[in-house]
Structure 1
Amino acid sequence: MKLKYLTAALATALCMTGASASLAQDSAPPAQKVTVATPAPKLIVMIAVDQFSADLFAEYRGRFTGGLARLASGVVFPAGYQAHGATETCPGHSTILTGNHPAHTGIVANHYFDLSAAREDKRIYCAEDEKVAGTSSGGGKYAPSVGHLLVPTLGDLMKARDPKAQVVSVSGKDRSAIMMGGRQADELMWLVPTGLTGYRGTALSPTAQQASTAIAAAIGQARPALALPAECAPHDIAIPLDKGGSVGTGRMARDAGDFRRFMASPEADGAVLATAAALRQVRKMGEGDSTDLLIVGLAATDYVGHSTGTEGSEMCIQMAGLDRELGDFFARLDATGIDYAVALTADHGGHDLPERNRQNAWPDAQRVDKALDPEAIGKAVAEKLGLPQPMIYGDGGDYYLAKTLTAAQRKAALAEILPRLRAHPQIEAVVTREELGAHPISKRAPDTWTLMDKLRASYHPQRSGDFIIALKPRVTPIPESGLGYVATHGSVWDYDRRVPILFWRKGLAAFEQPNAVMTVDIMPTLASLIGLPVDANKIDGRCLDLISGPESSCR
């Protein structure tokens, strides 16, 4: 079966590879449900859709007719939470199959700083091994690694129980594949301009290599503009950008070899899903005695969101394509007769570019003041106090003071910096590492969390900054918009925290639970579904009961 956005070459190549409630409050009464031992599914499919916010799910839910419609007919938590404050790709993916907040996974951001690192580049990518000689944190210059993830994944626990269990992770991004795949995956790969790749020194399997060759050929071909569905016409309004050009009327046409535009389209998701289906088929996942785990990371929604925003014609086309691609993927699984269960969520949410927000009834939407750049702040304070430069390192919300400062200099610097930042009209709060270290990780429902609760769930004493800045709502941390990067995420606000959490299995009775649950609840829920014991003292999440009625799926 050919997925719509795959080229004929890619579809042919892949055919050749095989055959034709929130956490309980202290005052809540104990549960009165009876645990039942249902047969474990033979295959777990974990799907993460990058930047698929609860807002997008709600906006397009009534239009879904394919794979997302199927999932929306299962067990639906429409307002789940990436509960923590650092709502970026790497931290979010680290929560999904570990059951832990970033405070425990150690993945506090996409990038953080280790000022004691031996190499000159002190900026650390979340999924790299900075000890590899000749590498740096820049794109394409690092050595991908799972080394910074401090806790096991569901796949790691499955392999520990039964080494015959198969774990395969395929994604559009390396950090997605790595953070969900863990240390014991049998195959782990992601998209690159040359097709697919995995860890350095690890050869792709013959099936993955065939898929890689076909994907590379697809990237190398120009793509004409996609048709604009009639329901997307209201989104078809051009939004001028600061650096020239506009977004909002794109049809996803691209030149041959344009990898970024390939990624910002349903074509990328189709390539990942087709590869995952081919690997499942060749490896006969779900056909043995053990339960297997197939992990799929879909990145196109995130690329579209960053490049063009969340409310333009481009995102409308992407939502229709994602729904269609998932539908075709599930149809291929259905044809096997395998008993499989699916979970789908997102690594974070996202919000639209401020220029369109201002047109659409939110006049206060802003871009961040350039004066809040860490380098600019550090230079201004160092010059005023006569301190050595560079004084501050930062990438996002975490700011690190240079190790060259004496204790007295650090104290003087903070005494100057903190009041200055707290007085800035775009800043909601500035919190020090000492304040976060003294604050407990919240056990309450995530929709009731304070700003300190959110930031604490992202704080790790060895990796987080000396102080953390939280911007006010609807302040986009991109000072100027330009083609390719107009909107982002990463804030403590619910538009970045809320994501759908969906479960589906043939025969599973549907229900919807609007109360707040968390992505850290997914791992213990799936573990219970397959009868895999999990030490509740070593995770932050809890099992979600997927059975409507007096029985419970939580063992």
Structure 2
Amino acid sequence: MRKTLTGLLGATLLATPAFAAPPKLVIAISVDQFSSDLFDEYRPAFTGGLARLSSGAAFRNGYQGHAASETCPGHSTILTGDRPARTGIIANNWVDQSQTRSDKGVYCAEDERVAGSSTSHYTVSPLHLRVPTLGERLKQVSPASRSVAVAGKDRAAVMMSGQRPDQRWYWDGKRYTTDLVGVRAPAVVAATNAAVAKLLAAPADPLEAPPLCVAKSKSVAIEGGGMPVGAGAFARAAGDARSFRASPQFDGATLALAAGLIQEMKLGKGEATDLIAIGASATDYVGHSYGTEGQEMCLNLLSLDRDLGDFFAVLDRQGLDYAVVLTADHGGNDVPERQQAAGIHDAARVDPALFPAQVGKAVAAELGLKGPVLIGDSPFGDIYLDRALAPADRKRALTAAVALYQAHPQVEAAFTHDQLRRAKLSTGSPDAWSMIERARSSFDDQRSGDLVVLLRRRVTPIADTKSYVATHGSPWDYDRRVPILFWRAGMPAVASEAAIETIAIAPTLAAWIGVPIERGAIDGSCLMSVPGVTCPAR
């Protein structure tokens, strides 16, 4: 896809920005499921864009502090400066039993008020994001500034741009599209969609693996019906859009569109500072489809490094004065079968008996109740009591459900709604938070479940592997710890071991570009250790 990136775009002479002035373009990149474990593992092999970013202010111990380490909550923290407890984005999906539609689920980036919207066929919207993004704050103080988002997932684009960006584009499974009404589509959108359609119309040959990736190539059998993983090289049949999404070409296309939008809209060329948020989503789909430690992830990350290098080179040739921050919405865990072979004996797939339907049946049988009793699609996270139960029965059912979950050897903790509501938000270092502090950070009194279940370390909450083989979403550091990298031309290198949160990104960028944020208005604080940033007095 790098041909699309370079072929669509022209070139001008390289110019060196004046480091003392605020950057004219801020680029915020989220690499979905890019854990600090992966960053640490592959950092010596990076030679392109990720190597460049690593040479700036590099924080390898960044944290998405909350327990709900999923895409939507994670992206909601990056450019708001707020934890999910304040953004209201507690998960990718939650349950609202007051809805009149038969589907009681709510997708984080939908407007369920629109007729026909559902969690599977939804109307994309920032409705549920309760706080402003940096782009919104920027445009309030600088109306001439532009706020743009482009991503492989709608929820990434929505949560990083919020309300009323100038442009917002994301992949819908067939093409890059937008939810914005009355906004003229730049010509590069149609050009990128045409290039991707041509790419998908032809089969893809397997990628040539360098020695580093060959050393990781070993087929691993998967329990639960899934195909073996570990030795793939992204060969793809013509028309296979799902495999395209879980391949390095996907991020190449997203970066091509982002670079094209920057050029066509002349972002960073005006008097005011502009902002573009980019969601690189392929790493997440690769992690889900193949795990994090095989040849597939190796090929993907090395390709992302090259594509980011090409992306920055395009901007350099335009003479843009830009600053970059790169982080992730969450990390990920490898397939338990490969972990077990490597001697990680606590790695396991979840017991199907932990799914809410099964626990609900057990509670119903124990207490003589009717109905589903418990509502939810996952064996972890937010689980809801059936509102059709009488209040006394709901209380009995909650007590019984908590006892069943806590007695299971794969469960770390089960917290009730009342326990989390009474718990205080942590103000300490995110690497030292207790389990209830992690769960409290993604708790919302209106949207969270009647109980929140946290699984033990290395328990993968996927039993049926025919669709995905690995995932994230746990309160453990392999899902919470992510890199946070700041870079600008001329920035001296800073390598920090400090444990910081992603909520520090927005106030740091705001200070960099002169966007005031009232003290106490957000959860995060400006990072004084980023060169060139003058943080407001505390």
> TM-score, normalised to structure 2's length?
0.95
1: CA distance, partners of 2:455 / 2:335: 15
RMSD of aligned residue pairs (Cα, Å): 1.7
- Overall identity of the aligned pairs, in %: 49
Match of 2:16 in 1: none
| Rounded Cα–Cα distance in structure 1 between residues aligned with 2:202 and 2:2 | 12
Asked if structure 1 preserves the Cα contact closer than 8 Å seen for 2:12 and 2:317, the reply is no
Q: Is the 8 A contact 1:44 1:342 kept in 2?
A: yes
Helix, strand or coil for the counterpart of 1:316? helix
Q: Take 1:501 and 1:50, find their aligned partners in 2: how far apart are those partners?
A: 13
| Alignment-derived partner of residue 313 in structure 1 | 295
Match of 2:479 in 1: 496
1:38 to partner: Cα distance: 3.8
Distance 1:75 1:244, change over 3 A: closer
User: Where do 5+ consecutive residues of structure 1 fail to align?
Assistant: 21-36
Tell me how far 1:191 sits from its aligned partner: 1.4
Aligned partner (choices 447, 450, 457) of residue 466 of structure 1: 450
Please tell me whether the aligned partners of residues 186 and 264 of structure 2 are also in contact (alpha carbons under 8 angstroms).
no
**Given the alignment of the two structures, is residue 68 of structure 1 paired with residue 50 of structure 2, yes or no?**
yes
Within the candidate set 157, 161, 164, 1:181 is matched to: 161
**Pairwise mapping of residues 197-346 of structure 1 onto structure 2 (< 5 A)?**
197-199=177-179, 201=181, 204-242=185-223, 243-346=225-328
Asked whether the equivalents of residues 159 and 184 of structure 1 are also in contact (C-alpha less than 8 Å), the reply is: no
Out of 123, 128, 144, the residue aligned to residue 143 of structure 1 is 123
- Of the three residues 425, 444, 457, the one matched with 1:441 is 425
Match of 1:53 in 2: 35
Is the 8 Å Cα contact of residues 367 and 480 (structure 1) preserved in structure 2?
A: no
Mapped to 2, the partners of 1:219 and 1:131 lie a distance apart of 35
Match of 2:100 among 109, 115, 118: 118
Alignment coverage as a number of residue pairs: 527
Aligned partner (choices 171, 174, 181) of residue 191 of structure 1 = 171
Match of 1:43 in 2: 25
CA contact under 8 A between 1:85 and 1:457: conserved in structure 2? yes
User: 1:199 & 1:56 partners in 2: Cα distance?
Assistant: 33
Q: 2: distance between equivalents of 1:448 and 1:327? A: 35
Distance 2:457 2:174 in 1: 39
For residue 398 of structure 1, what is the aligned residue in structure 2? 382
Change (3 A) 1:531 1:458: same
2:84 paired with 1:131 = no
Give yes or no for the alignment of 1:81 onto 2:70: no
Q: CA deviation at 1:210?
A: 2.2
Counterparts of 2:372 and 2:353, CA distance in 1: 16
The reply to whether residue 538 of structure 1 matches residue 506 of structure 2 is no
Q: Provide Cα deviations, 1:386-435, integer angstroms capped at 9, x if missing partner.
A: 22312211134111011111111111112221111111000011000101
Match of 1:553 in 2: 534
* Separation in structure 2 between the aligned mates of residue 19 and residue 40 of structure 1, nearest angstrom: 22
**Contact 2:154–2:172 under 8 Å retained in 1:** no
Deviations 1:495-524 (A, max 9, x none): 000000000001111111101001000000
Report the TM-score, using the length of structure 1 for normalisation: 0.92
Distance 1:201 1:256, change over 3 A: farther
CA contact (8 A) 1:80 1:517 kept: yes
Distance 1:354 1:244 in 2: 13
Unpaired segments ≥5 residues, structure 2: 14-18
Which digits, 9 at most, give the CA deviation of each residue in 1:317-351, with x for residues without a partner? 00110000000000011111121100000000011
Deviations 1:70-125 (A, max 9, x none): 00100000110000000000000000000000000000000100011121100110
1:540 and 1:201 map into 2 onto residues whose CA distance is: 32
Q: Are 1:193 and 1:216, in contact at CA under 8 Å, matched by a contact in 2?
A: no
Say if 1:11 and 1:513 are closer, same or farther in 2 by CA, change over 3 A.
Answer: closer
Report the Cα distance in structure 2 between the residues aligned to 1:394 and 1:193, rounded to whole angstroms: 26
CA contact (8 A) 2:512 2:533 kept: no
